[in-house]
Amino acid sequence: MTSENVPGLRVFLAGGAGVLGRRVIPLLTAAGHTVVATTRSPRRTGLLRDLEAEPVRVDAHDAGALAAAVRAAAPDVVLHQLTDLAGGDLAANARLREQGTRNLVAAALAAGVRRIVAQSICWTYVPGDGPAAESVPLDLGATEPRRTTVAGVAALEAAARELPEWVVLRYGMLYGPGTWFAPDGLRAAQAREGALRAGADVTSFVHVDDAATAAVTALGWPSGAVNVCDDEPAPAREWLPAFCRAVGAPPPPASDAPRDPAARGADNRHARRELGWRPAYPSWREGFATLAIDRDIPDNGHSRQFINGRVENSGDGHDEPMPAPGKVR
């Protein structure tokens, strides 16, 4: 099934004002769905209304309030786009993945919701050669700090599977407006400081608009995990110079360190061939070229973008939930 033949649904969007949530809402309403979207912030309820979603203020760590909010919304589907990365706190994000998802799934089950679509990531597979397909196991034996990230992902995905119908979107590295890979984002700042090295570690990217489109299309996908990433997993020595050019940073310093075997990229053939997903940006090559001109959806001054000194400058990888070239894990 595709999003075009999914009838108008009531969607409970957990994380409606985030970088992905605010792109997803207009796509949902354009497709005829009704959206109840969460935020914790009174300042972001206006943004949600402007996007034609019904705002509900709730913290995912408050199980009772979340259950009441889902019950009141009476949704057909729960769309989980919660992350907690603005503070760069790996443990906080893992706690949201574990406990927040647990609360959301419990709320959905109590309200009789049959389907969940949940945001995950595609770089927690076991180490190996070549891009990982969805059948590759998660890297549960990783050492810290990666272990915390993998455990959070595993808990999120296991909880999602408790609903009768579930889709886990294993996103590639998000880039585009509002993300860390934007001209005003964290990685651009690091690139301007020469803090990212062009080495052998492989990353799979996805433009934030393609990630949003996949979330809406996934309302009609069969249960399963899906790598949602572009066609061209690439080593930093290929993509980082292009990223630096796009965000006005000098050419990056090179690294001759061997590839971290966990930095292998992901294979999107399931999404493309079996589910018919068609990213507008099949490669970061064309996607990065748009970075200088794309603009984010205004967020009423509530920016998650920047970011504290701890994340920007620690350089030890311990507060880096996502691989950064030369700073990995």
Q: Which is nearer to ligand NAP, 86 or 275 (CB)?
A: 86
Which listed range, 58-66, 217-225, 243-251, 274-282, lies at the site for ligand NAP (CB under 6 A)? 58-66
Of 23, 44, 80, 264, the residue at the interface with ligand NAP (CB under 6 A) is 44
- Please report, in angstroms and rounded to a whole number, the separation of the first and last CA atoms in the chain: 37
Site for ligand NAP in 112-141 (CB under 6 A): 121
Q: How many residues bind ligand NAP (CB under 6 A)?
A: 29
Is residue 325 close enough to count as binding ligand NAP by CB under 6 A? no
Is residue 53 close enough to count as binding ligand NAP by CB under 6 A? no
Q: Which is nearer to ligand NAP, 6 or 311 (CB)?
A: 311
Please state the closest distance from residue 95 (CB atom) to ligand NAP, in A. Answer: 9
Of 26, 29, 34, 41, the residue at the interface with ligand NAP (CB under 6 A) is 41
* Residue whose beta carbon is closest to ligand NAP: 18
Of 104, 111, 160, 173, the residue at the interface with ligand NAP (CB under 6 A) is 173
Which listed range, 177-185, 188-196, 230-238, 280-288, lies at the site for ligand NAP (CB under 6 A)? 177-185
Is residue 142 close enough to count as binding ligand NAP by CB under 6 A? no
Return the DSSP state at 259: P
- Say how many residues make up the chain: 329
The rounded radius of gyration (Å) of the Cα atoms in the chain is 19
Q: Which is nearer to ligand NAP, 6 or 14 (CB)?
A: 14
Is residue 19 close enough to count as binding ligand NAP by CB under 6 A? yes
Q: Residue 290: count other Cβ atoms within 10 Å of its Cβ.
A: 16
Is residue 161 close enough to count as binding ligand NAP by CB under 6 A? no
Is residue 237 close enough to count as binding ligand NAP by CB under 6 A? no
Q: Which is nearer to ligand NAP, 192 or 254 (CB)?
A: 192
Residue for token pair 């999003």: 3
Handedness of CA 29, 35, 40, 45 (dihedral sign): positive
Return the DSSP state at 76: S
Helices (H), the chain: 21-30, 42-50, 63-73, 90-95, 101-110, 146-160, 186-192, 208-217, 236-247, 269, 284-289, 309-313
Q: Which residues lie below 8 Å from residue 303, measured CB to CB, with a gap of 6+? A: none
CA dist 290 to 185, 251, 293, Å?
15, 18, 6
Strands ordered across the beta sheet of 77-80: 54-57, 34-39, 10-14, 77-80, 115-121, 165-171, 224-228
Of 10, 71, 270, 304, the residue at the interface with ligand NAP (CB under 6 A) is 304
Which listed range, 33-41, 104-112, 151-159, 243-251, lies at the site for ligand NAP (CB under 6 A)? 33-41
Is residue 149 close enough to count as binding ligand NAP by CB under 6 A? no
Residue 258: exposure state from Cβ atoms within 10 A (0-12, 13-18, ≥19): exposed
Residues that bind ligand NAP (CB under 6 A): 15, 17-19, 21, 38-41, 44, 59-61, 82-86, 96, 100, 121, 171, 173-174, 178-180, 304, 322
